[in-house]
Amino acid sequence: QSFLTQTPSASGTPGQRVAISCSGSSSNIGSNYVHWYQQLPGTAPKLLIYRNDQRPSGLLDRFSGSKSGTSASLAISGLRSEDEADYYCAAWDDSLNGYVFGTGTKVTVL
Amino acid sequence: EEQLLESGGGLVQPGGSLRLSCVASGFTFNSHAMSWVRQAPGKGLEWVSVINPGGSGTNYADSVKGRFTISRDNSQNTLDLQMNSLGAADTAVYYCAKGDKNTGWFNWGQGTLVTVSS
């Protein structure tokens, strides 16, 4: 089973900016869109960013995504307590002919 | 409002079978690819399978290939996952999700828990 690599945890105080990285390969991030999901405790995942840097309508612009080569990142600015959650990146993998998820990053608001 | 509602989860013995269903509403079901994604207790997300809008194309994660079968009935707006030869590693919450590799999964169901145990 293949996964994209994310740092296990990230933290910040309210108002700070937090960045989460997602590392893959040429067969996934390098050649396909990256999407980001937020999973609050006990709930289903929610799409946060799609097509590398696009926000679903209604989503606050505190969340932003970017991609470069075989890596992607998610930034959360103006950190709030309600941002405490697990965050996952995902992309299609042309070699596997399937989707791969990131290992997940737990964001803690101090 | 777009909704996905899974059902069919429960307790099953190792080696047994289970069929999950997902009923969609609020959108044109036959226009969208659908996936199953699972999450073992305390673990991360794992993609399981995808089916194209018409139902003619499917893909599976290596971990379930040959044991799971995804299908859809566009006349009933339903997505199914037939799971055979279940093992402890298949214990997870199973989510159905709408979307594809270009859009991401915009909508998710609430999930249904499958527990494989004797």
The set of residues, in sequence order, having a beta carbon less than 8 Å from that of A101 and lying 6+ positions away, is: A3, A4, A88, A89, A90, B44, B45, B46, B47
State the nearest Cα–Cα gap between A73 and chain B, in angstroms. 16
CB contact under 8 A, B47 and A90: yes
Residue A2 confidence (pLDDT) above 90: no
CB contact under 8 A, A56 and B105: no
Mean pLDDT of A10-21: 97
Q: What is the pLDDT of residue A60?
A: 79
Residue A1 confidence (pLDDT) above 70: no
Q: What is the pLDDT of residue A100?
A: 97
Percent of chain B whose pLDDT exceeds 70: 100
B65-89 pLDDT per residue, tens: 999 999 999 999 999 999 999 999 9
A50 closest CB neighbour out of B44, B50, B103 = B103
Burial class of A96 by CB neighbour count within 10 A (0 to 12, 13 to 18, 19+) = middle
Contacts of B103 in chain A (CB under 8 A): 50-51
